[in-house]
Each structure stands twice: as C-alpha cells, then as structure tokens.
Structure 1
Amino acid sequence: MSTSSGQTAVPFSLPSFAADVGDAVVKVLDSGWVTTGPQTAEFEQEFADFLGAAHVVAVASCTAAIELSLRALELPPGSPVLTPSLTFCGAINAILHAGHRPVLVDIDEDTLVPSPATVEEAAGRVKPAAMVVQNQGGFPVDVPALAEAAGLDRSRVVEDVAHGPGGARGGVPVGAESQAACFSFYATKNLPIGEGGAVATRDAEFADRLRALRLHGMSKDSWRRYLPGGSWSYDVKRLGLKANMTDVQAAIGRAQLRLLPEWQRRRAELAARYDEALRDLPGLVLPRRDLGEDVRHAWHLYQVRVPEREAVIADLEKAGVSTSVHFIPAHQLSVYRELLDERELGSLPATDRVADGLLSLPLYPRLSDAAQDRVIDALADALRSRG
C-alpha cells in the first residue's frame, strides 16, 4: 500500500515469522495428527521453560484462557471479580461467560493499570472473590500489592498478560510465579502465531483442571485416548469449553519462541527511540519510564496521550501512518452499562481522563528505523500544527 506521495504506508502492526515456520507446519500436516497432540505438549514445555513457570496449558485464545482460569478457580456462581475498565472487551466477557460479575476498577494515570488505591476503592464497593489484572501495553503489574489491596490471596488473581511476554518484575518473568497468567498469541502480539493462548501456573492441580476444561471437561484428550495402549473411555466431571490449541498452531509457536528474545530486544530499542525523539513535543504525554531497575516492560504497545486525538489520527493517516487505540473503557460501552449495576460500574475518573487521548503508535520488530522516523515526523507535524 502506498500513500498519495508514493511512499509506502507504515502499518500499525506487521507480524514476524521465523524462517522455518513453513517447514514446521508441513511436518505436522505430514504426521497425520494436526489437532492437540505432541507438538502442543512440546510447545507447552518450551514456553514454560522460557517463562520459568512450573506448568503451561495451551488454549485457543487469551480470552478463553481467562474464562477457563476463572472456571478452574471454582468460585460460587455470580461472584464479584475486580477488573480494570481500561481493558479489551473480551476480558470483561470472559468474567461474564464464566458466570461471574465484573466490578470495574480505575487506573493510575501514569502506568495505565490499577494501583493499590484504586483496587482498594473498588473492593470497598463490592467485596471481591477474585481479580483479573491486566499488563496494559506490557507494563508488569505488581500482583502481590494489588492482591493485598483487594484483600485476596494471590491464588485468586488471574493475570491478563496478553501484552506481557518478555516483561518482568523483581527479576521474575511475568507468569513465572502466577496462579494463572493468561497469554495471547494473536497476530499482533509479541509472540505471534495468528491465534492461540496459554495459561502459565505454579499449581499442578490447577493445570490439570485447565487441561480438562479446555476440552469440554473430558478427563482425557483424543491424543491420549488413541495412543498405543490408550482407551476410548473418559469421564466429564466439570462443564468445560472447546478451547484447545492445535498442533499446527503449536508448531508455529515453537519456531517463533526461539526468536522472541531478539524481538523483545528490538521492541525495547524502538521504544527508546520514540522516547528520545518525542519527549519535547507539545501536548504529548509519553509512557512512564521510571520503572525501577527490577522492572522490565514488555513493550507490546507504545501508548501516548495526545490532544484532539481524532484530528491527530486523521493527520497521521494522511501521512500514511496507521495507529490504533487501546482501549475504549468497558464502562463506556453500551452492553456493560446495561448489564452492570452502579456499584459494579463505580466511578472511574482517571480512566475517563486518559481514555479520550490514548493513541498507540506502530511498534513491532519489523518496523525499520526509517519507517519509525516517518511516524515521528508525522506525529510532530500533527502536534505542532495545533500549537
């Protein structure tokens, strides 16, 4: 795609793929087994090793991962579950589909994630049974601090780390010590497969529950039933979903995982280039950088705050630069205003203040320095034209 000036447009995101992805997929197709099987098991172990996690259970999406994790917690039906309003609608839907009630939490304006103070405020409105926390843009949340503020044991916290592979806090990779850390492998994510997700957990029994729940609650998946010496017999002890990962996806994921450290290095480099080039632009608020030596941002997104966002987006589009917005807060969406009561919706002043100005700039390993410079120049022109 080219702009009117003949320049190639800068897309918001382009997935990267390892050179041997095609060979890995063909090998699975030739094997005669393409659904959940040996490749999925290998991917789960390799991703667990990358994270330093005890167990990983691969599933169909991060949304499914959140719902399955909530089901595996075995909360009473209709339990209140804290979650930020500034999140993807799928995370809110997962709470509702699991049979529970979202209680919306405000954010800290600098980090764009809940703080202990905002969590404590929400927990004062409705006593929670669990909490879903999100690593917005790749910022690694302080899970123990938020759990304490909510009055919850950490085993009742589901971490939405769709943006989080590669992040760390206290020297510990995101997901390494979690009860349930839910990852996404969507096409735009840090580890792109196309579709797919996973749950990392420290709890072996919890992992076993997830494995059953991702396949309708069946006690054995089809691969294990049809292994030599296996049996067709199975039991169903809990109601589950059809939410498994296929071996085709897992084979792609295994090839991709080897390149993830290099991709993360490039994301951090691009974020630093944005910091340097954009720090003096009028009216622009950059992502928080004073994170501390023990905190590593995953840089899934580079989110700025701009005045007159719609006009800025239009100017960038004219310059051939695509952007996105993450996210429209849940309390501003019609269905949740209808489904949730006043205590569940709450008052979310910080979320309302930042939401109208948030803008996500292109940030992905295939983004060249020259293309990033076009983004920087176009944004500078758009902002300076507004004084």
Structure 2
Amino acid sequence: MSTSAGQTTVPFSLPSFAAEVGDAVVKVLDSGWVTTGPQTAEFEQDFADFLGAEHVVAVASCTAAIELSLRALELPPGSAVLTPSLTFCGAINAILHAGHRPVLVDIDEDTLVPSPATVEAAAARARPAAMVVQNQAGYPVDVPALAGAAGLDRSRVVEDVAHGPGAARGGVPVGADSQAACFSFYATKNLPIGEGGAVATRDAAFAERVRSLRLHGMSKDSWRRYLPGGSWSYDVKKLGLKANMTDVQAAIGRAQLHALPEWQRRRAELAARYDEALRGLPGVVLPQRDLGDGVQHAWHLYQVRVPGREAVITELEKAGVSTSVHFIPAHQLTVYRDLLDDHELGPLPATDRVAEGLLSLPLYPRLGDAAQDRVVDALAGALRSRG
C-alpha cells in the first residue's frame, strides 16, 4: 500500500499466521465437521495449558465472553457493574445486554487502568454487585486489590483480557487463576484468528454455565449429541446466546499458539526500541515501564500521549504512518450519555485528561526495524512541525 506521495505506508497492524495454519484449516474442511466440535475442544485444552488455567470455553468474541460471564455470575437484574470508561464500547454493551448497569470508573494516569482509589470512589456512587476490569494495552491489573477496593469477592470480577494473552502478575499468567478472564482472537490481537474469544476460569461449574449459555442455553451441543452413543435429546434451562466458536477457527488458533511465544518476544523487543527512540521527545509521555516484580506487560498496544494529537495524526498520515486511538471514553459517547445516569457516568477527570492525547503507534510482530524507525522519525517530525 502506498501514499499519494509514493511512500510505502506503515500499517497500524498486520496479523501474523503460523506456517501450519493452511494445512490445519484444510484438515478441518476435509473432516466434514466445521462447526463447534473436536477441534474446539482441543483448542480449549491447548489454551488452558498455555495459560495454566483449569478450564477454557471458546466463544465467538471477547464481547460475547464478557456478556456470557456476567450472565453466568447470575447477578440480580439491573445490578451495578463497575468498569473503566477508557475501554472499547463492546465491553460496555456486554454489561447492558446482560441486563445490568455500567458504573464508569476513572483511571490512574500512569497505568491507564483503574486504581484502588478510583474503584473505591466509583463504588461509593453505586454499590456494585460485580466489576469488569480491563488490561489496557496489555498491562495486567491487580485484580485482588481492585476487588478489595470495590468491596467484592474476587469471584465477582470479570477480567477483560482482549489485550492479552502474554501478561502476567506475580509471575502468574493472566487467566490462570481467574473467575472469568475473557480473551479476544480478533485479527489485530496478540493471538490472531480473525474472530473469536474465550473464557478462562478456575471454576468448573462456572465453565459449564458459560458452555451452555454460548449455545442458546442448551444442555448439549451438536457435537456431543452426535457422538457415538449420544442422544438427540437436550434441555434448555436458561436463555443463552448464539456465541460459539467453529472448528475452523479453533484449528487456526491451535496452530497460532505454537508461534505466540516468539510473537510476544518480538512485541516486547519493539516496545523497548520505541522506549529508547522516543525518550526525550518534547511533550511525549511514554507507557509506564516501572511495572514491579513479576509483572509482565503483553504489549498489545504501544500508547503514547502527545500534544495536539489531531495535528500529529494528520502529519503521520502524510508521512505514510497509520495510527489509532484506544479509546474514546464511554462517557463521551452519545449512546451512553443517553442511557446512563449522572452517578453512573462519572466524574472521571483523569480519563478526560488522558484521552485528549492518547495515540497508539504501530506494534505487531511483522513490524520490521526499518519500518519502526520510520514511525519514530515521522512522529519526531510531526512534533517539530507544531513548533
């Protein structure tokens, strides 16, 4: 892809695919079973082994994973659910679709995730029954600390790990000891399948509720009904969703898992190169690096804060560098301002300050050193052009 000036564009993101993916997909197509079946079960076990989790349930998306997890918590209808405003709109929608009320939480300006203090302030506005926490950009939140600040048992915390896997806290991978850790396999994510998601949990009964709810609430999926000795009969005890993963997706995911450690190594390498090259640029705030012992960032995004963001984006586009913004805070979006009450919307002063300058730079395993250097030079030039 080229710009009008003939320069090669540096894309914001390009998915990587392991060499084995093509053969894996062909085998599924030849098998005669392409929807949820044996490959999905194998992927669930492979991903659980990768995380060190007891159970994994593969679903259609991370958004579906969050909604299914909230439904599986079996909260009273209309419960208050804490969640950061600096998140993707799908995470807010999941709370509403599950029949609950989002209560938006402010962030710490260094980590870009809620702190115990901001959670405590939000909990004082509306007594929460649960909380959805997000690992923004791949930074692993301190779930026990945030749960304590909210006055919640950890079993009432749903972790949005769309920006993982690969993150860890206390040396424990995110999702290894969670009630509900929700992953994304969207095309731009660290483990790209194209679409798809998963719920990792330590709770067997919870996993079975999610497993049923992902297919309308049916007691058995079609694979289990048509196994030798299986029965066509099933029951539906709870209203669920159509949110299952297919065996085609699962086969891709299984092949991708083998490449993930090397991709994560490259992401960390690129993040360190950005740190070195951008340190000292006027007005630029780099991602937090003082992470603490046993804290491992997944580096899904490399987010900087820059002055005059819109002008900077324009200059970068002219230089052939694509960027993105993560995210427009929920309380600034029309639908939530219409749906939520004032005590649910805020105040969120730190989020407002940070959101004005957030800019996500290209970061993905296929990004070469020369292309990354172009990004750095373009950003430096854009800042100089502002005077």
Q: TM-score scaled to structure 1, two decimals?
A: 0.99
Aligned-pair CA distance for 1:189: 0.1
SS in 2 for 1:158: strand
Aligned-pair CA distance for 1:5: 4.0
Q: Distance in 2 between matches of 1:5 and 1:279?
A: 29
Which residue number in structure 2 is paired with residue 223 of structure 1? 223
Q: Distance in 2 between matches of 1:208 and 1:200?
A: 12
Which residue number in structure 2 is paired with residue 353 of structure 1? 353
Q: Distance in 1 between matches of 2:11 and 2:378?
A: 13
Which residue number in structure 2 is paired with residue 234 of structure 1? 234
SS in 1 for 2:43: helix
Matches within 5 A, 1:89-108: 89-108=89-108
Which residue number in structure 2 is paired with residue 147 of structure 1? 147
Which residue number in structure 2 is paired with residue 329 of structure 1? 329
Aligned-pair CA distance for 1:3: 2.4
1:125-180 deviation per Cα after TM superposition (whole angstroms, max 9, x unaligned): 10000000000000000000000000000000000000020000000000000000
SS in 2 for 1:331: helix
Q: Distance in 2 between matches of 1:272 and 1:25?
A: 35
When the two structures are aligned, how many residues end up with a matched partner?
Answer: 387
Q: Is the 8 A contact 2:7 2:319 kept in 1?
A: no
What letter matches 2:340 in structure 1?
L
What letter matches 2:375 in structure 1?
V
Which residue number in structure 1 is paired with residue 130 of structure 2? 130
Structure 2 gaps, min length 5:
none
SS in 2 for 1:137: helix
Q: Distance in 2 between matches of 1:5 and 1:66?
A: 44
Which residue number in structure 1 is paired with residue 33 of structure 2? 33
Which residue number in structure 1 is paired with residue 201 of structure 2? 201
Q: Is the 8 A contact 2:164 2:189 kept in 1?
A: no
Which residue number in structure 2 is paired with residue 119 of structure 1? 119
SS in 1 for 2:286: coil
Matches within 5 A, 1:43-192: 43-192=43-192
Q: Distance in 2 between matches of 1:260 and 1:21?
A: 13
Aligned-pair CA distance for 1:4: 3.6
Q: Is the 8 A contact 2:178 2:202 kept in 1?
A: yes
1:381 maps onto 2:359 in alignment: no
Q: Is the 8 A contact 2:65 2:197 kept in 1?
A: yes
What letter matches 2:123 in structure 1?
A
Q: Is the 8 A contact 2:106 2:114 kept in 1?
A: yes
Q: Is the 8 A contact 2:53 2:177 kept in 1?
A: yes
Q: Distance in 2 between matches of 1:265 and 1:130?
A: 34
Which residue number in structure 2 is paired with residue 295 of structure 1? 295
1:16-37 deviation per Cα after TM superposition (whole angstroms, max 9, x unaligned): 0011111100100000000000
Q: Distance in 2 between matches of 1:22 and 1:346?
A: 48
Regions of 4+ moved over 6 Å = none
Q: Distance in 2 between matches of 1:356 and 1:248?
A: 40
Q: Distance in 1 between matches of 2:128 and 2:170?
A: 27
1:370 maps onto 2:370 in alignment: yes
1:263-322 deviation per Cα after TM superposition (whole angstroms, max 9, x unaligned): 000000000000000011001000000001310000000000011101000000000000
Q: Distance in 2 between matches of 1:331 and 1:4?
A: 37
Q: Distance in 2 between matches of 1:204 and 1:294?
A: 27
SS in 1 for 2:81: strand
Q: Is the 8 A contact 2:216 2:239 kept in 1?
A: yes
Q: Distance in 1 between matches of 2:243 and 2:14?
A: 26
1:327-385 deviation per Cα after TM superposition (whole angstroms, max 9, x unaligned): 00000000000100011112000000010100000000000000000000000001122
Which residue number in structure 2 is paired with residue 256 of structure 1? 256
SS in 1 for 2:26: helix
Q: TM-score scaled to structure 2, two decimals?
A: 0.99
SS in 1 for 2:372: helix
What letter matches 1:128 in structure 2?
P
Q: Distance in 2 between matches of 1:3 and 1:352?
A: 33
Identical residues among aligned pairs (%): 90
Q: Distance in 1 between matches of 2:261 and 2:381?
A: 34
Q: Distance in 2 between matches of 1:301 and 1:195?
A: 18
SS in 1 for 2:282: coil
What letter matches 1:202 in structure 2?
R
